[in-house]
Chain A
Amino acid sequence: ILNVEQSPQSLHVQEGDSTNFTCSFPSSNFYALHWYRWETAKSPEALFVMTLNGDEKKKGRISATLNTKEGYSYLYIKGSQPEDSATYLCAFGRSDDKIIFGKGTRLHILP
């Protein structure tokens, strides 16, 4: 059984602070690692898709890194803003094209 683990499950961060969270995935049959942001009452929105070990991607204040050998990815948010409040989902893309999601990290930004 494939497990994609995300930690922490929930996080409260003061506005303006930076934060990061983790996604762990199996290192075998790796094809791609996805990050999504899911805001309440909306549908999940893609942030990044990473395929190569050592990949780093950035979108505004959000960035992500990838280590396929040890099976983990970090998502970083710099200078958190209220609009960053959401659930952040990590998904492991396997070589057989199946995409398996973790349970997410729920981020709350405190004003």
Chain B
Amino acid sequence: KAGVTQTPRYLIKTRGQQVTLSCSPISGHRSVSWYQQTPGQGLQFLFEYFSETQRNKGNFPGRFSGRQFSNSRSEMNVSTLELGDSALYLCASRPGNNSPLHFGNGTRLTVT
């Protein structure tokens, strides 16, 4: 079974631009969560999608948005990029509520 796939692996953008990150979950997993990891902050929860609906949202500004498609693939969009958005963005999928998260390799975003 293929794991969680995130694309691209690396991105360099400039302030003010927008970016879209993609996540393909493990086949059969309907829940997809997104996390931001910055040095010293640990994994910060962005949002979770389940069956194309946003089920939960973390404490991030409205510049961060996402969506999930009918095949469970998910995208995350960040508009008007700021230097502080430079981070590793991890996507994780799981089949059910008591199941562990299965993480992708992440997208490393650098904003200059």
B42 contacts A99, C-beta separation under 8 Å: no
A97 contacts B98, C-beta separation under 8 Å: no
List which B31-74 residues lie within 8 A (CB) of chain A. Answer: 31, 33, 35, 40-45, 48, 50, 55-56, 58
Residues of chain A lying within 8 A (CB to CB) of residue B40: 103
B56 contacts A98, C-beta separation under 8 Å: yes
Q: Count the A-B residue pairs with Cβ separation under 8 angstroms: how many?
A: 61
List which A72-107 residues lie within 8 A (CB) of chain B. Answer: 89, 91, 93, 96-104
Report the minimum CB–CB distance from B14 to chain A (whole Å).
27
Residues of chain B lying within 8 A (CB to CB) of residue A44: 43, 90, 92, 101, 103
B110 interface residue (CB < 8 Å to A): no
B56 contacts A49, C-beta separation under 8 Å: no
B: residues with CB less than 8 A from A are 4, 31, 33, 35, 40-45, 48, 50, 55-56, 58, 90, 92, 97-106
A–B Cβ pairs within 8 angstroms, 5 of them: A43-B103, A49-B98, A51-B98, A100-B45, A101-B44
List which A8-46 residues lie within 8 A (CB) of chain B. Answer: 31-32, 34, 36, 42-46
Chain A count of residues within 8 A CB distance of the other chain: 24
Report the minimum CB–CB distance from A85 to chain B (whole Å).
18
Report the minimum CB–CB distance from B44 to chain A (whole Å).
8
A103 contacts B42, C-beta separation under 8 Å: yes
A91 to B56, CA, bound (A): 16
Residues of chain B lying within 8 A (CB to CB) of residue A48: 100
What 3 pairs between A and B have smallest CB-CB spacing? A46-B100, A103-B42, A43-B103
Report the minimum CB–CB distance from B94 to chain A (whole Å).
9
